[in-house]
Amino acid sequence: MIEKIEQLIAEINALKASSAQELESLRLKYLSKKGAINDLMADFRNVPNEQKREIGQKLNELKNLAQDKINALKEMFDAQKAESDKPDLTRTAYPTVLGTRHPLNIVKNEIIDIFSRLGFVLADGPEVEDDWHVFSSMNFAEDHPARDMQDTFFVEAHPDIILRTHTSSVQSRVMEVSEPPIRIICPGRVYRNEAISYRAHCFFHQVEALYVDKKVSFSDLKQVLLYFAQQMFGPDTKIRLRPSYFPFTEPSAEMDISCNICGGKGCAFCKGTGWVEILGCGMVDPNVLELNGINSKEYSGFALGMGIERITNLKYQVKDLRMFSENDVRFLKEFEAAN
Ligand code: DAH
């Protein structure tokens, strides 16, 4: 037995491990329940009484030695691991993934830029509005179909409170608190009770412009429209105005631009006509001026409103409106270059 113990002591003194795993298997070999030292402990029962003292001491010595040795090796590996876990401060940084501007924002900013060059300033108003600002003050008759439940979202229990269906409500918000000259542009979100499909959504975005001053004429409107169209779609863009109807303008018109895809020759996009519709406009109805506290004998004005999704479609040919609100990063990344 003594020889066995001496042999193990020599073995353990010479112990080496090249990895933490190897060390663990050595620990199992010597120190576990089924390890070599425990086996000797079990044999201790059979040692004659007169040798028990000497062998007992040796066994303890062996056990302590094995434990110290294994602990020392373990400490060494722990220290090595701590060292290798330290961050490498010389490594180049991970690239930061930058977001991209949403295409609707890119186009909105471009529209704002163009109108600011003409002296228009930003204005805004609430999305949750009252009937007065969205409809009544904009000269909608009591029984006008646009007030119909199918188009407008009402706030339950407050039939007077609605989600604005157009940004024209901001015209009223501005006129009721300002004196002409007024020259504002207002981008914003609007809501309509529409079934969602590739060509309609229950919310979308508009930009409204309003100009009120002495002697504002239809030719001022036309010049602003031409400037906008050519800045937005290129200097060769032509415009055409078709008579239309809006309760808040008289006369009213819809503006087409020469199709920016085929250059006016006629293609699938413009259904062969060479023209695409982009906005509604007109001279502010004198009733609207009066309803909002502006003397219509002294002042006149023009207004226009356009859908940002529509303009974005024309610029980037996005076929499905829903893409704009799904926020699929792969779609948004397509607009990186335009940022
Ligand atoms: N508010 C209209 C709409 O939602 C758009 C519009 C048309 C605005 C003519 C105007 C305008 O300011 O003069 O369809």
pLDDT tens per residue, range 176-197: 999 999 999 999 999 999 999 9
Amino acid, res. 178: S
Residue 128 has pLDDT above 90, yes or no: yes
Tens-place pLDDT, residues 49-88: 888 888 888 888 888 988 998 898 889 888 888 888 888 8
- Residue 50 token pair: 């007169």
What's the confidence (pLDDT) of residue 241? 97
Q: Ligand 1 in contact with 302 (CB < 6 A)?
A: no
Mean pLDDT, rounded, for 90-119: 92
pLDDT of 150 over the 70 cut: no
Partners of 243 in beta bridges: 253
Is 282 close to ligand 1, i.e. is its CB under 6 Å away? yes
- Regarding the beta carbon of 187 and ligand 1, being less than 6 Å apart is answered no
Q: What is the pLDDT of residue 294?
A: 97
What number of residues does the chain have?
Answer: 339
pLDDT at position 270 is 87
Beta carbon of 305 within 6 Å of any ligand 1 atom:
yes
pLDDT greater than 90 at residue 47? no
The pLDDT score that the predictor gives to residue 85 is: 87
To test ligand 1's pocket by mutation, which of 166, 172, 186 has the most ligand atoms within 8 angstroms of CB?
166
Q: Per-residue DSSP letters for 74-93?
A: HHHHHHHHHHHHS--TTSPP
| pLDDT given at position 34 | 87
Taking residues 238-250, report their average pLDDT: 96
- CA gyration radius for the chain? 41
- pLDDT digit string, tens, across residues 260-306: 888 889 888 888 999 999 999 999 999 999 999 999 999 999 999 99
Pocket residue to mutate for ligand 1, from 129, 165, 168, 281, most atoms within 8 A of Cβ? 168
Locus of tokens 């007992």:
56
Atom of ligand 1 nearest to the CA of 282: 13
Residue 31 has a pLDDT of 86
Check whether 173 has a pLDDT greater than 70.
yes
Backbone angles phi, psi at 36, to 5 degrees: -60, -40
- Mutating to test ligand 1, I would choose from 242, 246, 254 the residue with most ligand atoms within 8 A of its C-beta, which is 246
Longest dimension (CA), the chain: 129
Percent pLDDT > 70 in the chain is 99
Nearest ligand 1 atom to alpha carbon 190:
4
Q: For residue 52, what pLDDT is reported?
A: 86
